[in-house]
Structure 1
Amino acid sequence: MSLPPRHVKSLTILLVEDSKSDALLIEETLSESPFLEQLYIVRDGVEATDFLYHREKYSDVPRPDLIVLDLNLPKKNGQEVLAEIKADEKLKTIPVVILTTSCNEIDILTSYRHHANCYLVKPLGLDQFIEVIKSIELFWFAIVRLPFAQN
């Protein structure tokens, strides 16, 4: 399948993932993406909100074009982060992809009630995990039209 032409800038992802191995795999999979300008990785929910609100060491980071969010996070869980993002007038237009190990129907329903843009369960196999990441890249960067950042 050939990719449609892009008419927008390269994009920035905020990955909120406490698993170092999953974060590394995602980073390696996206490292050669023609669409990705920058991948920022934070390890917990508090760090994610600090990033989004430009607090402390994140005062000069850009607004992400896409957030990939795990649910099972230390300090502040992914549902809390998602609810905060989608309740904020300046952040709610950022698409949020839930990428988690949870198959729990309550987690899925709660995520969509908090206006997640999609919910993906991390596959156990390495090849399948890489395919999911490539699918995120293809769909969100090559097919979907994202809004320009509104600071």
Structure 2
Amino acid sequence: MQRTFIRVLLVIFGAIEAGVGLWPLVSPMGFYQDFPGLRRGWVAMDGAFNEHLIRDFGGLNLALAAVLVGAAVIGTAAAARLAGVAALLFGAPHFAYHLGHLAHFERLDQVLIVVTTALGALVPLVLILLPGRRIKPPETP
């Protein structure tokens, strides 16, 4: 059985991934030029526009969102751990890539990129490592 904290974390993480996934599907060029929104151009600063890759990124983020929210609905510790593994398999390489590609960003953007991509690798570790809630067997009189 999942802890309430894990279930909430799965839903919040899934909602964030859904937003990041929908944007490039609805407006690939808008995502390319304006992501993350408050600070512009993180994707555009990293290379030429490729609609195919932007749309694939959106679709994969939506798939990850479905796995995360689905794990919350299923409610088992095993489902949460599996969702954590899926998120880690995306988040860890994404974080590693950005650690090696920060020089062309302003200092504030560098910090924000490291923090946000680190969360994408650390939150899955919480999902994987935090044990499930123990279910007490019924007491016999």
When the two structures are superposed, what TM-score results if normalisation uses the length of structure 1? 0.30
User: Highest relative contact order (Cα 8 Å, sep 6+), 1 or 2?
Assistant: 2
**More helix as a share of residues:** 2
